[in-house]
Structure formats: structure tokens, C-alpha cells
Amino acid sequence: MPLSPEQEAEIAAQRSESHQTLRATAPGMEQHLYTAHPVLDHGFVRVIDYMGDDSAITQAARVSYGRGTKSVSNDEGLIRYLMRHWHSTPFEMCEIKLHVKLPVFVARQWIRHRTANVNEYSARYSILDREFYIPAPDSLAAQSTTNNQGRGDVLEGAEAQRVLDILRDDSMRAYDHYEEMISQDGQQGLARELARMNLPANIYTQWYWKVDLHNLLHFLRLRADAHAQYEIRVYAEAIAKLVADWVPATYKAFEDYRMGGATLSATGLECIRRMLKGETVTQENSGMSKGEWREFEGLLG
Ligand SMILES: Cc1cc2nc3c(=O)[nH]c(=O)nc-3n(C[C@H](O)[C@H](O)[C@H](O)COP(=O)(O)OP(=O)(O)OC[C@H]3O[C@@H](n4cnc5c(N)ncnc54)[C@H](O)[C@@H]3O)c2cc1C
């Protein structure tokens, strides 16, 4: 349960208020405002605020005086052109502010995306909740034998149970000790800023994360990708759904050119030209390394 009844009530109260505005709003995004979308066992993503819509992008690209919209299909075409040619600044005209609750080890990966503004819950000031990420059984996988940075088959039976028991017991024991150290019952109580150092990386933290659409799409390209760790990928996938409702034309172009598309090297392009001419191209005569060729073959399916 990611939210307490009090927090649910606060969100409902916020959603019941509405304000008139002259600014552009995106109907798809209005549906999501403030709502918490659950991710993992205790986490969530919720939209706190946003600026702009698909037309804000074309309006900026045309540097127009009004909405700048000639027609929907015109706008879609322009958005696709901008995306195709890496003309990125118009996408920076849209912004989103999210409230995210996430395990600390996921936050460590996420914070590497430096082009956002972040304000994190202070564990110096406040007491952290007793909430730890414990993987669902189908996410409890063995080390991959082919990819050092990945997972293999799902753990089963006694091994899976033992791992879950260790994760739960260690988390609870660490939190019991945290509470014991900060307690002021008959003792001074250790400072919260020090007591937290004993807590494991699966404890949940929270932050407000504000980013422009261009950098958000870059984040999604990297983190909603199959190569990203599952625990950050599910957050990226939840955000991707919000973006699809916020700026549908942009998201469609992004899916086409970035998520579904691929970049080829000059060598790769030359191989394709040779293949189209009927030549048999192999790794040995391709000019590519074995790793590169494997990826190239993967691209071609
Ligand atoms: C699958 C995967 C595996 C990873 N593995 C590791 C790992 O093993 N170890 C590790 O340390 N990291 C790892 N990373 C993190 C990765 O190296 C990047 O730090 C992270 O993805 C953020 O990307 P970014 O710098 O492009 O994003 P942002 O910080 O959002 O930056 C966006 C863009 O802005 C520009 N930019 C931002 N800041 C600067 C700057 N100071 N100087 C120049 N240009 C800048 C760059 O063009 C950059 O691409 C991994 C990431 C992924 C997706």
C-alpha cells in the first residue's frame, strides 16, 4: 500500500479543486494530475505539475505569436521532423514535475540524470518509514551467465524462499536498530542523520523531480529500455504512459524514431547497401567486431 488514507485524502482534496487558466492544458495530463500511480511494492509516480503540450513545441519551433497551430496534421509532421533531425530545443519548452517514491538503490541510478531539478525527502530532518523493496517472486532472478550486468532465470523453491527471508529479516532488523538508536526513551537518541547510515539500499525514499521534455525523453530512452535494470525500468514505463497522454504526437514520434528506431554506423549502413545489392555479408567481411555484428544482426532481426 503506497499511500496512507490521510495521503489519499490530501490527494483527493487537491483533485477536487480546479482553477481557471489562460495557459494551455493537456486534457490527457489533467486526468493524471496528483494521482499516485503505484510502482513496485511501495513506490509510486505522480504528476504534481506540468507546462505545455504538443502545440507548445510547434509554437516554439515556429516562434509564433499565438498558438501557432496550423492544423493537427501539420503539427504532427513538424514534431516528427524535429524529432527526426534532433532539433531538440522546442521539446525543452515543456516541463513536468513528478513526485516519486522509490528505493534508494533505484534513486542512485536515477540521480545520474543530471539535467533535472531534484528535492529529496530529508532523512536528517524526518524519520524514514519502515518500507523496503522486496522483489516479487518473478523478479527474483539469478545472475546472468551471459551478461555481467543482467539477470538470468528466476530463482525457485528453497533458494528463492531463503533469499526472500534474508531480504525481509535484514530489512526489519536494520529498521529495528534504527528505531532503537533514534529513540529518546530513557536516552538522548542518536541524530537521525547518523542513524540512517545503517539502513539498507532497498529502503524507500521520495523526491520531487522536475525535468524538461527533451531530457525526460532521453531518460526514458535509456531507462525504459530492455537493458535498464527492471526496478528503474518499471518507473520509466509508468512515466512513459503519462507522457503518451500528455503529448501524444511527441510520444508517437519518440516511439517511432527513438524507442523503436536505431542508429547505424557508416560501416553498418554500408553493409546494408551491400546486402541490398545481393552480396553475402558476414561478420568477417563486414568490418565490424563480433560484438558489433551481433548487435547489428539483432537489429535486422
Ligand atoms: C543500461 C545502463 C547502464 C549503466 N551503467 C553504468 C555504470 O556501470 N556505471 C556508471 O557510473 N554509470 C552507468 N550508467 C549511467 C550512465 O553512464 C549515465 O550517467 C546516465 O544514463 C545518465 O545519462 P546522461 O549523462 O546522458 O544524462 P543527463 O545527466 O540527464 O545528461 C543529458 C545529456 O546532457 C549532457 N550533459 C549533462 N551533463 C554534462 C556534463 N557535465 N558534461 C557534458 N555533457 C553533459 C550530455 O549530453 C548528456 O547525455 C548506466 C546507464 C544505463 C542506462
Domain limits, the chain: 5-133+203-259, 135-201, 266-300
pLDDT-derived band of residue 152, with 50, 70 and 90 as boundaries? Answer: confident
pLDDT > 90? residue 97: yes
C-beta separation of 250 from 57 below 8 A? yes
pLDDT at residue 70 in the model? 62
Q: Rounded distance, CA 143 to CA 77, Å?
A: 45
Which ligand 1 atom lies nearest to the CA of residue 222? 53
Ligand 1 centroid–CA 218 distance in Å is: 10
C-beta separation of 85 from 178 below 8 A? no
**What residue ranges line ligand 1, CB within 6 angstroms?**
112-115, 215, 218, 222, 227-228
Which ligand 1 atom lies nearest to the CA of residue 228? 1
Q: In whole angstroms, how far apart are CA 147 and each of 19, 112, 151, 292?
A: 51, 22, 7, 15
Q: Rounded distance, CA 289 to CA 295, Å?
A: 10
pLDDT > 70? residue 197: yes
CATH class assigned to 5-133+203-259: alpha beta
Any known ligand binding at 114? yes
pLDDT-derived band of residue 1, with 50, 70 and 90 as boundaries? Answer: low
C-beta separation of 288 from 300 below 8 A? no
Average pLDDT on 201-227 reads 97
pLDDT > 60? residue 186: yes
Ligand 1 centroid–CA 217 distance in Å is: 13
Mean pLDDT lowest for which of 154-158, 185-189, 199-203? 154-158
Active site residues: 223
Which phi and psi (to 5°) does residue 216 adopt?
A: -65, -40
pLDDT at residue 53 in the model? 95
Please give the angle made by the CA atoms of 104, 108 and 109, to the nearest 5 degrees.
125
The three cell numbers locating residue 168: 525481509
Average pLDDT on 273-277 reads 97
Beta bridge partners of 103: 204
Ligand 1 centroid–CA 111 distance in Å is: 10
